[in-house]
Amino acid sequence: MADLLLGQVLSFVGDPFVDGPAAARHIADGAVLVSAGKIVAVGEAAALRAAHPQARRHDYGRALISAGFIDAHAHYPQTAIIASWGKRLIDWLNHYTFPEEMRFSDPAYAAKIAGRYLDLVTAQGTTTVASYCTIHPGSVEAFFAAARSRGMRAYAGKTCMDRNAPAGLCDTAQSAYDESKALIAKWHGTDRLSYVITPRFSPTSTPGQLQALGALWAEYPDCLMQTHLCEQPDEIAWVHALFPQARDYLDTYESTGLLREGAVFGHAIHLTPRERARLIEAGASLVHCPTSNTFIGSGLFDMGLATQVRVGLATDTGGGSSFSMLRTMAAAYEVAQLRHQSLHPAQLWWLATVGSARALRAESQIGNIAPGLEADLVVVDLASTPAIEQATRRAETLWQALFPTIMMGDDRAIRSVWLGGKPSVRA
């Protein structure tokens, strides 16, 4: 039987970074028809009620029905160390991240954290995640198994490192290739799961390992490749010391077969003109991680790139300080303000939905409300707290009503979450 969700409906028919707020389609008294995991129709509530009288009705009143949020860059193994105090990137890795990731050699611990993480993000309205795992193949198994049991679309890969990390977290060029290839064979394309080839970043991979992963990607071109790029100045200086022959940070990936469409680079804050030009030319994706960039003191992403390259949005947990994509949208607004780039609410919402789907090359499957797309949906209460309610009561437009939730909303705003056409029992 089909399900009919009733409420305000927000979707996109264009790119608000190009077309402005007119790229959004708002139906004040709308409905979304869902069947067999897919969106069948979207339109005025009266028309869809009349056309589908047998559908189960879910009346959300004045709540907003949207595509679910897509977190395009996260580290689920860092769930337990989120909001750890006071370190910059390299110190943070050594003091918090690497010791915690050592624990993922235990499959039971990996399974516990994977389940906890996915429950936490689903409660925040996130329906798809692209996550780094640890070097342990079991950490990938745990994450994919947890996502599969919840009916989630998920992207993940074994993090590969063969230097500048504790011995217990290092693999080799050959084992990174072999283990990643075995995980691709088992998981890539299974249900709603996609494997992502995952070198952590150039400082923790030798040129030989990057070349091995570039060769693997050439064998499996329909996979994505995710890594980090130009997050902090001291990181960039480290890369120059480790790769003295490279033209710049991006060249460490470009020269090893890791730059083309399907490459997803987290952060990309301190880019050279050559790096910007090559990223655009190659059709790569960038992922903005604003709570992480401010929490670890990395810098301010240039959102002007959104008119030239695919840009997604992400929490970067646990370097980021929140599991919430609402909080992440708010931080993106604040970062842009510091760069004198004022972002419209339509652009913020687009980044967390269609923009992130495009960054993951998945816009034909998720990220919007349109017939044929997978029915991953979030229902957002636009009056979830007294402070938000008193602000929205004065609103004269959708954007005036939505912006207070972007800036002040939390899990209390998430009224319902649908994963693959089914309501999540964990949200």
Alpha-carbon distance of 177 to 66, in angstroms, equals 39
- pLDDT tens-digit series, residues 118-131: 999 999 999 999 99
Alpha-carbon distance of 36 to 132, in angstroms, equals 30
Alpha-carbon distance of 242 to 245, in angstroms, equals 9
Alpha-carbon distance of 201 to 298, in angstroms, equals 16
The stretch 248-252 carries a mean pLDDT of: 98
**β-strand 38-44 against 414-419: which pairing, if any?**
unpaired
Q: Where are the alpha helices (DSSP H) in 76-220?
A: 89-92, 98-102, 107-123, 137-150, 173-187, 207-219
The stretch 90-103 carries a mean pLDDT of: 85
Domains of the chain: 3-68+368-423 (2.30.40.10), 69-359 (3.20.20.140)
Q: What is the pLDDT of residue 394?
A: 94
Neighbours of 276 (CB within 10 A): 18
- pLDDT tens-digit series, residues 203-216: 999 999 999 999 99
The stretch 294-323 carries a mean pLDDT of: 95
Provide DSSP, 5-54: EEEEEEEESS-HHHHGGGGEEEEEEEEEEEETTEEEEEEEHHHHHHH-TT
The SS3 of residue 310 is: strand
Q: What is the pLDDT of residue 427?
A: 44
Q: What is the pLDDT of residue 164?
A: 95
215 to each of 23, 176, 272, 295, how far by Cα in Å?
39, 12, 26, 35
Alpha-carbon distance of 205 to 388, in angstroms, equals 46
Alpha-carbon distance of 243 to 265, in angstroms, equals 19
Cβ atoms of 289 and 314 within 8 Å: the answer is yes
Specify which residues 34 forms β-bridges with: 3, 39
Give buried/exposed letters for 72-97 (b at 16+ CB in 10 A, else e): bbbbbbbbebbebeebebeebbeebb
Q: What is the pLDDT of residue 426?
A: 54
- pLDDT tens-digit series, residues 350-384: 999 999 999 999 999 999 999 999 999 999 999 99
